[in-house]
Amino acid sequence: MEKSEKKFVPAALYLTAAVVGLLFPTHMVEGWIFLSIPAVFLALITLFFYRRHISLFGPTLFFLVAYITRTLPFYTLGLMFAFPIALYLITIRFFKSLWRDESPPSFGEVGEINKTSIVYGLVVIAVSSSALILWYWLFDPDIEVFTQYFPDVELLKLLVGGVVFAFVNSIVEEVVYRGILWNGLEEIFGSVHAVIAVQAVIFGVIHYWGIPNGILGAVMATVYGLFMGIIRNRAGGLLMPILVHTFADMTIFLILLNIVGRI
């Protein structure tokens, strides 16, 4: 078997596990369950395939548990990644013996805030925030459903809560996409350019149901994912992407506040 063929199988299995864990059964529609069953089966095969390879086993386990969590009757947005991340941490911390001489992976390095990453970050903050505002003004999207999570409190408390949520959500998403997912893709592809491209596409597809939504939203999120991948690579870790991501989430929060007439 050629070297490229050897890499195709683990790449296909790992990407299947990633899509299963992050996409299915988000906003489940009739018929999707039949698509997810064989996909979950492939994810289980992937888990077995990488049982002694922690750099891929850990992320694959995360994705499969993320899928299972979504199927629970008491599933909430808070459980979406909390339980899978907790299990991932336990796995890489307490089961080191499964992986022989390999070092347990982390979510990704913290990285550094250098001149290059600051410039990239400021540009992405300006462009992404402007793009979100233009999208809202030009297309008048139907995203009012997201405002149901707003508590009935005074504006100052709501703003503080929004900042906290934006920061926490940014940490979680960066850990998942530019941390756990990134680690596995890096192991498979080796090329950072391929890693940046693939994680961006997955990030974009999954945000089809987010803000911004729809096909245009998915495209915007994919482009955003590309830039975030570049920043993560330039900064050498997740700190700078988390800070940049927080501004985008805050822009979305302010848009939602405008929808409910609070600003």
Per-residue pLDDT 10s for the chain (263 aa) are 344 444 566 667 777 777 767 765 544 444 455 555 666 666 677 667 666 566 677 777 777 777 777 666 666 666 677 778 887 777 766 665 555 445 555 556 788 888 888 999 999 999 999 999 999 999 988 888 888 778 888 888 889 999 999 999 999 899 889 988 898 888 788 789 999 999 999 899 888 888 998 999 999 999 999 999 999 999 989 999 999 999 999 999 999 999 887 77
- Angle, alpha carbons 178-244-194 (nearest 5°): 30
Whether residues 133 and 237 share a domain: the answer is yes
Report d(CA 127, CA 130) in Å as an integer: 5
Residue at a domain's end among 55, 81, 105: 105
Whether residues 149 and 259 share a domain: the answer is yes
Whether residues 135 and 159 share a domain: the answer is yes
Whether residues 124 and 216 share a domain: the answer is yes
Residue at a domain's end among 105, 124, 139: 105
Q: What is the dihedral of CA 247, 186, 176, 163, to 10 degrees?
A: -20
Residues of the domain holding 237: 106-263
Token representation of residue 233: 């690579």
Element (H or E) spanning 15, and its range? helix 3-22
- Angle, alpha carbons 80-83-87 (nearest 5°): 140
**Counted domains in the chain:** 2
Whether residues 44 and 122 share a domain: the answer is no
Report d(CA 54, CA 50) in Å as an integer: 7
Whether residues 129 and 246 share a domain: the answer is yes
Residue at a domain's end among 105, 139, 164: 105
Q: How many helices (H) and strands (E) does the chain have?
A: 10, 0
Whether residues 92 and 113 share a domain: the answer is no
